[in-house]
Amino acid sequence: MAGIQRWTVTEPYIPLDCGLGEAPFYEEASHHLRFVDIVKKKLHVVDLNKGPSSLTTLDLQDSVGASITADVEGAAEDEIIVGAKYGYAIVNRKTGAMKYLKRFSDDPEHGKQIRSNDGAVDTSGRFWVGTMNDPTVTDPTDVGVVFRLDPDMTLHRMIEKVTIPNSIGWSEDDKTMFFTDSPTKTISKFDYDAATGKISNRQPYFRYEGDEQGAAPDGFAIDVHGCLWTAVYGTGKVLRVSPEGKLIGEIKLPTRCVTCPRFAGEDLIITSAVEEDPKAHPESAKYGGSVFKVNVGVQGMPIRKWKR
């Protein structure tokens, strides 16, 4: 296809065996990267100045959702907020201890059925988190909800009937919110009111039309030109999509189950999961669960902190 910029990655930046690597988060001040393994309940951190040999790993008390660790404005250096199994929680990065701030459900039985899966913080410090059926308990159905936790600790149900919620992000002018519900193969866009946090007028922004079995848009990152870089799970690709919703770039990676990209300067860091069918895809299985890096010549939008 003419006009598409292409990159090829042939080997991992960090060779790992994450069951479900997710939530890459760039700590700009220290030039560190953190990411989670949802399945193995790990928080990994690497010093990008030193490289992969600096990787450290912390065991977590609970299952942390994808792409939803966030920094907290004014918090101690060793505290971050996460979307976890039962709700929003503060994690101590030294000990792995987790303290819940707000639960998704007051019903303990319903709480066991769900977990968080993705989200982001908006420019006003509100923390948006999507929930889904916990796949260790039951198969995904459309019982998921996208929640919004405000600085005053009020919890709002913003999007209902979600199956597998993935990335949430906002345009540079703060007038549009983007959201992926993976089984639909569609990234949606909403009119967004930054003053109130309200969304309206849902429309399709980009639909993945490939026919690979199980392929679907997963996590995304937004660059300073307003383009979305979306991992497409099951394809070994990250696609760059213009503000108008047109495909303009493609990164090919050596494993199919890519999950989420995140900018670290002009580098795009990409997490992945273990290969689901290693017999059919042995080459993909070789690097499944690793972390990849590619310089794409553009930086990402600023990362916001949750306010309280």
Query: Over the chain (308 residues), what is each successive 10-residue block's mean pLDDT?
Result: 87 97 95 94 95 94 64 90 93 88 91 91 97 90 96 97 96 97 97 98 97 93 98 98 98 98 98 95 96 98 94
Q: What is the pLDDT of residue 77?
A: 82
pTM of the model: 0.95
Q: What is the pLDDT of residue 308?
A: 87
Q: What is the pLDDT of residue 65?
A: 45
Q: What is the pLDDT of residue 282?
A: 95
Q: What is the pLDDT of residue 63?
A: 55
Q: What is the pLDDT of residue 66?
A: 41
Tell me the CA distances in angstroms from 203 to 115, 186, 197, 207, 220, one per residue in order.
26, 10, 18, 11, 18
Question: Phi and psi of 273, rounded to 5°?
Answer: -120, 165
Q: Is 136 exposed, middle or buried (0-12, 13-18, 19+ CB in 10 A)?
A: exposed
Cα(228)–Cα(240) distance, integer angstroms: 6
